[in-house]
Amino acid sequence: MKEKILNLLANNARITFAEIAERLYVDEKQIEDSIHEMEKQGIIRGYTVILNDESIRKNQVRALIEVSVIPERDGGFDYVARRISKFSEVTDVYLVSGNYDLRVEVKGESLQDVAAFVHSKLATIEGVKSTATIFLLKKYKEAGKIMDGEESYERLKVTP
């Protein structure tokens, strides 16, 4: 049942205890207790809203940064990942497989803000070997949600 509750919350964090209980055919108090227990255990770390940044922050720049790291002897990639995570510009940090080690997502007010973050903060961290920045141009889908609806188009009429 825990997984079903988490799926419902992941799809809509504003769903009420009563709505979850109704969908799962259980008592509302049982749902409330389960959710509070998952929060206490750290399974649920928080609740969030998916914003259409293009509507509210028209000039905000988002970028993905590929970071190659020299792993530490005892801590691997953790030390560098934790240091990067502390910067306010950083929204996400992932350890990944492939040609680089960390995938970092950042937000800034301009291309220059992101570039300044990379060269003055990120690249200067001990253990960072190299970076590659990819600027995000348009968001089509985030957290499973389509961001701009389906574009409709009409086929050109062919006339003889």
In SS3 terms, 15-79 reads as CCHHHHHHHHCCCHHHHHHHHHHHHHHCCCCCCCCCCCHHHHCCCCEEEEEEEEECCECCCECHH
- 127, 71: one domain: yes
Give tens-digit pLDDT for 75-85: 889 999 999 99
- 59, 133: one domain: yes
Query: Does residue 150 have a pLDDT over 60?
Result: no
- 123, 64: one domain: yes
83 in any annotated domain: yes
Full domain range(s) for residue 114? 54-139
Query: Does residue 153 have a pLDDT over 50?
Result: no
49 in any annotated domain: no
Give tens-digit pLDDT for 10-39: 888 899 999 999 999 999 999 999 999 999
146 in any annotated domain: no
Provide the domain count of the chain. Answer: 2
pTM: 0.69
Give tens-digit pLDDT for 102-114: 999 999 999 999 9
Give tens-digit pLDDT for 86-131: 999 999 999 999 999 999 999 999 999 999 999 999 999 999 999 9
- 73, 126: one domain: yes
- 7, 83: one domain: no
